[in-house]
Structure 1
């Protein structure tokens, strides 16, 4: 779930950057862009840590 959320938030960031670069229609300012990228990074780290915990649990059980 966290990985999907991370992908969606990063897609929002990418869309903002692409619109700003190609159409001069960015909908987020600098601070908003930074917060969206930060949120995507945090969600990605959470997803990876959950995946590692699951792998470790499976390795201990089996």
Structure 2
């Protein structure tokens, strides 16, 4: 799940860098917000899964 979060963040970062260096971004404002939201959700889910595994190591 962290890999998925990293992939979403890489897309967001590529969009920001593209806008900063080339003046054009490939995502509009709404899709940029959704990519960042997906990044945050995937990261939170990955952290919750990891905490659950640490509390119950048998599962």
Normalised by the length of structure 1, the TM-score is 0.90
CA distance in 2 between counterparts of 1:50 and 1:23 reads 39
| Larger helix share, 1 or 2 | 1
Runs of 4+ aligned residues of structure 1 deviating over 4 Å after TM superposition are none
CA RMSD, aligned part only? 0.8
- Give the paired residue count: 58
Aligned residue for 1:52, secondary structure, equals helix
Does 1:24 pair with 2:23?
Answer: yes
Q: Deviations over 1:4-40 (max 9, x none)?
A: 0000000000000000011012000111100000000
Bigger Rg over Cα = 1
Aligned residue for 2:15, secondary structure, equals helix
Normalised by the length of structure 2, the TM-score is 0.94
Gaps of 5+ in 1: none
CA distance in 2 between counterparts of 1:25 and 1:4 reads 27
Aligned residue for 1:27, secondary structure, equals coil
Q: How does 1:47-58 map to 2 (within 5 A)?
A: 47-58=46-57
